[in-house]
Structure 1
Amino acid sequence: MSRPLVVAAALGAALLTLAPAAPAAPPPEAAATRDVPAHALVGYLHTSFANGSGYVRIADAPPEWDVIDLAFAEPTSPTSGQLEFSLCPVAECPDVETEQEFIAGIRQKRSEGKKVVLSVGGANGQVRLETAAARDAFVASASAIIDRYGLDGLDIDFEGHSLELAPGDTDVRNPKTPVIVNLIDALRALTGKYGESFVLTMAPETFFVQVGYQHYGGGTGADPRAGAYLPVIEAMRGELDLLHVQNYNSGPVMGLDGHYHTMGSADFHVAMIDMLLTGFPLAGDPADTFAPLAPEQVAIGLPAANPAGNGFTPVPEVHKALDCLRAGTGCGPYRPHGTYPGLRGLMPWSINWDVYHGNEFARSHDDHTG
């Protein structure tokens, strides 16, 4: 997620040529979705910074947004696990509300049926839970922020070097790397504490998810971060409400058709989402697969406007991708392995950038998404 804009890491190794993949497993049953609308708009609200797009009070967030992710809680140091969250400084955001007004705004949005979620990480907020102490600090501090502001759950937006897989850690269902295992344990603790009403979402970059089709972990000279979100998604798939991979700030990514797809087009979104809903072998090994998610657990992540991130997709291309994925109509060169009418919706970065550009994203996509 951009704060400021960052570009996903390059592969750093020659990419493998893979044959088109068959579905890894039958489509899963729909997961519980904590009262999130069937077709939703999920948006990030710059809460602790402005980032050139201006500050938007939570009470003034446009009504189209069904899930509002508060960006961002960040750790006191990359390895402490101790999260901090605060409103934007007045010097940067002259229109910032008081904490009392902020809490009242959250209550207002929740009374309207919106979900308000704490997002952790972002481009600047590296989080490495290397120890049990850091894990416990993460759980305690996340809980304290959620309770203080009366929030619905947590969004994991770990970027940079937050997650990686140690050499030889290739079993997606039984990871061994401490930063992976401790994050899974922390999320299990939080979902266990808050129960069925807790909203859990994730916003990884393509490098940490779909690139796992070609490279998984640190084997054969690959970047150890390749596919590193996959064991976390796998472990939490029963509790995961929404996965909205950032289909932007990305290099070309190979789809299940064996071809590279480039961001900014309907075809890129169709290919990336189809990977999540079809499943895929890890590093080309058919004996080791990432199983498909339910369509209700998946949304398309994309920039709300041109300045918000590389890979902006024009409105007609977004609608084309939605129609192809949901109904199999209007598809381009990439043909998905099925139709997914339950596909959850769209996640743009960000509400602030959309407001800055006259709410074009929300106005253009709300009816089509619903």
Structure 2
Amino acid sequence: MERPRLLAVLVTAALAAGGLAATVQVSQAADSDLAHNGGFESGLDGWSCTAGSGAVVSAPVHGGSSALEATPAGSDYAQCAQTVTVKPGSAYTLSAWVQGSYVYLGAAGTGTTDVSTWTQSAGSWQQLRTSFTTGPATTSVRIYTHGWYGTGAYEADDVSLVGPGGDPVQLPATPGRPATGAITSGSVALSWAAVPGATGYTVYRDGAKDLSVNGTSATITGLAASTAYSFQVTATNSAGESAKSAAVTASTAASGGGGGGAGVLPAHALVGYLHSSFANGSGYTRMADVPDSWDVIDLAFGEPTSATSGDVRFSLCPAAECPGVESVADFKAAIKAKQAAGKKVLISIGGQNGQVQLTTTAARDTFVSSVSKIIDDYGLDGLDIDFEGHSLSLDTGDKDFRNPTTPVVVNLISALKTLKAKYGAGFVLTMAPETFFVQLGYQYYGSGPFGGQDPRAGAYLPVINALRDDLTLLHVQDYNSGSIMGLDNQYHSMGGADFHIAMTDMLLTGFPVAGDQSRMFAPLRPDQVAIGLPASTNAGNGYTSTADVNTALNCLTRKTDCGSYTTHGSWPDLRGLMAWSINWDLFSNQEFSRNFDAYFGG
């Protein structure tokens, strides 16, 4: 964040020429309709709908006497799916009749290219159709239909998968006992080992079915504080459901802390970076002189001693560079005074010049110990991650943001979870990635089959996803980024209200990663999201006028003044704004913070 810069997205395409041809051996076995109960005449037999979102209705129907009606709610997009046995190297046609807004039909696990198709608005029955060829070792695929966050119910009927049938599928084995992860006053995170042949898992709470998932982890929400719960897991595939695993018992925390430290902030918070360790044209600001408008003060920056050591140090700006800098003792005393007034003071790690790559577990452990030393020495409330540039990267192994394997990503997640566990529920954890590393994941993630895009595009997604239950705030830098595509599949240019509306809507609505409907990035809670902006025209490319800031807030919190972009909901609990920086705001006569106070009533 220290100096403005533009991130260029370089897309290259290598075109093969000169007689190369691919030969696909396709099975000639007799074709039949393999979808079980595709007309829903036998209720939901054979189908599994997320979060209990699906029901069978007698009207409207396309054929027969029944149809599926599924209703998205909250962070769930009402996916109903079944796993079908298929033959390797064979051609299949998938179709369904649907009604509603933003209705999707697709197939996952094909072994070649997973496919999906959708309709934005089907006021009456409309047929969706797509096709695929299975890979040389593929024996089952998952077919699904789903809606979209923030939309109404959709209907589906006469789902059909036509192609050669495969060999019978065996019932999966019983999963091992699940392990607990992050626990808050209202949620428990669980994980378990994968079961061969399983295509999904069901979590039971106190013996009753709670939710179904496709992966090997889940967070159970809506729990009562200070209460013990028992959890079991079963494995499922097209043959049925395994026996329940051994139970694990977990007790929720006492109420009042809030997940990820969210409850320690005001309903609407203003976050700002304080140039504590360096000088630039904005001038030095003493901690004691930070105006009361700022609820979270990020000390910029803790910087590494080398890119890969994991060792992070923090010191005040030298007096020769920053005339008027206070003593360390006065700085610490001012931090305590801010905290006594209800403010949170964090150490921010990284910045434009502070490259951190935790390539080894040794670097991870050094990162944890050195950051802990800073937090303890200055009596801070938490940590802000401002990794930019090459601090995060992906390799060809990280095609699924939900299961990262790249060491720098895995080690960062582990380090942050360790720090959260060490300091407890009140620990404030925030992140300030650039849009390139988050929202650009809607188009690209990783490299190779996603168009040769810079492999860092969307690289923050696995970190955010893994830490969503621990994360207090995500304030993406909506600047220094260039144009980014929104959920309307239109490019939006930074500096205007539409850019902030579109980028924030993506975080609060969720989106398919790299266009893959089977890999959805689930929405964050509105209290976890703040909009990142330059505080003045001097602070970065993408400065937004106060009028446009207010227009964006009106649209996102009240669904008024939305202009050309239609959001998927309204979020009055949106946490607030982040600014680079407190120093630049003071340099510009506090225009940014004064506007925030006026909008949210001080």
Task: Quickly name the TM-score band, shorter chain normalised.
Answer: over 0.9
The structure richer in helix per residue is 1
Name the residue aligned to 1:45: 274
Q: What is the CA-CA distance between 1:25 and the residue it aligns to?
A: 8.3
Name the residue aligned to 1:12: 11
Counterpart secondary structure, 1:296: helix
Which has the higher relative contact order, 1 or 2, with Cα contacts under 8 A spaced 6 or more apart?
A: 1
Q: Give the conservation status (yes or no) of the 8 Å contact 2:150–2:569.
A: no
Distance in 2 (CA, whole Å) between partners of 1:13 and 1:51 is 37
| 1:218-253 CA distance string (max 9 Å, x none) | 233111100000000000000100000000001100
Q: Give the conservation status (yes or no) of the 8 Å contact 2:443–2:513.
A: yes
Pick one of 243, 246, 259 that aligns with 2:477. Answer: 246
Name the residue aligned to 1:23: 148
Structural RMSD (CA)? 1.8
Q: What is the CA-CA distance between 1:217 and the residue it aligns to?
A: 1.2
Pick one of 68, 72, 81 that aligns with 2:301. Answer: 72
Q: Give the conservation status (yes or no) of the 8 Å contact 2:279–2:321.
A: yes
Name the residue aligned to 1:207: 436
Distance in 2 (CA, whole Å) between partners of 1:104 and 1:20 is 59
1:120 maps to 2:349: yes
Name the residue aligned to 1:184: 413
Counterpart secondary structure, 1:74: strand
Q: Give the conservation status (yes or no) of the 8 Å contact 1:237–1:293.
A: yes
Name the residue aligned to 1:328: 559
Name the residue aligned to 1:152: 381
Name the residue aligned to 1:292: 523
Distance in 1 (CA, whole Å) between partners of 2:523 and 2:503 is 12
Distance in 2 (CA, whole Å) between partners of 1:327 and 1:34 is 23
Distance in 2 (CA, whole Å) between partners of 1:20 and 1:333 is 20
1:364 maps to 2:363: no
Q: What is the CA-CA distance between 1:9 and the residue it aligns to?
A: 3.5
Q: Give the conservation status (yes or no) of the 8 Å contact 2:303–2:354.
A: yes
Pick one of 327, 330, 352 that aligns with 1:98. Answer: 327
Opposite residue 324 of structure 1, the aligned amino acid is C
1:355 maps to 2:480: no
Structure 1 residues 117 and 23: alpha-carbon distance in aligned structure 2, compared to 1, 3 A threshold: farther
Name the residue aligned to 1:143: 372
> Matches of residues 341-352 of structure 1 in structure 2 within 5 Å?
341-352=572-583
Q: What is the CA-CA distance between 1:5 and the residue it aligns to?
A: 2.1
Distance in 2 (CA, whole Å) between partners of 1:321 and 1:38 is 18
Q: Give the conservation status (yes or no) of the 8 Å contact 2:3–2:540.
A: no
Distance in 2 (CA, whole Å) between partners of 1:340 and 1:24 is 13
Distance in 2 (CA, whole Å) between partners of 1:213 and 1:78 is 29
User: Number of paired residues?
Assistant: 365
Opposite residue 233 of structure 1, the aligned amino acid is I
Distance in 1 (CA, whole Å) between partners of 2:525 and 2:433 is 17
Structure 1 residues 19 and 156: alpha-carbon distance in aligned structure 2, compared to 1, 3 A threshold: farther
Counterpart secondary structure, 1:197: coil
Q: What is the CA-CA distance between 1:52 and the residue it aligns to?
A: 1.0
Gaps of 5+ in 2: 14-116, 121-146, 152-220, 223-257
Q: Give the conservation status (yes or no) of the 8 Å contact 1:297–1:343.
A: yes
Counterpart secondary structure, 1:221: coil
Q: Give the conservation status (yes or no) of the 8 Å contact 2:259–2:425.
A: no
Name the residue aligned to 1:197: 426
Distance in 2 (CA, whole Å) between partners of 1:31 and 1:323 is 26
Name the residue aligned to 2:511: 280
Q: Give the conservation status (yes or no) of the 8 Å contact 1:34–1:198.
A: no
Structure 1 residues 337 and 24: alpha-carbon distance in aligned structure 2, compared to 1, 3 A threshold: closer
Q: Give the conservation status (yes or no) of the 8 Å contact 2:272–2:581.
A: yes
Opposite residue 203 of structure 1, the aligned amino acid is A
Structure 1 residues 31 and 9: alpha-carbon distance in aligned structure 2, compared to 1, 3 A threshold: farther
Q: What is the CA-CA distance between 1:50 and the residue it aligns to?
A: 1.9
1:268 maps to 2:499: yes
Q: Give the conservation status (yes or no) of the 8 Å contact 1:24–1:290.
A: no
Distance in 1 (CA, whole Å) between partners of 2:12 and 2:321 is 41
Q: What is the CA-CA distance between 1:19 and the residue it aligns to?
A: 8.3
Using the aligned pairs only, state the percent identity.
63
Opposite residue 58 of structure 1, the aligned amino acid is M
Name the residue aligned to 1:170: 399
Give the TM-score normalised by the residue count of structure 1: 0.95
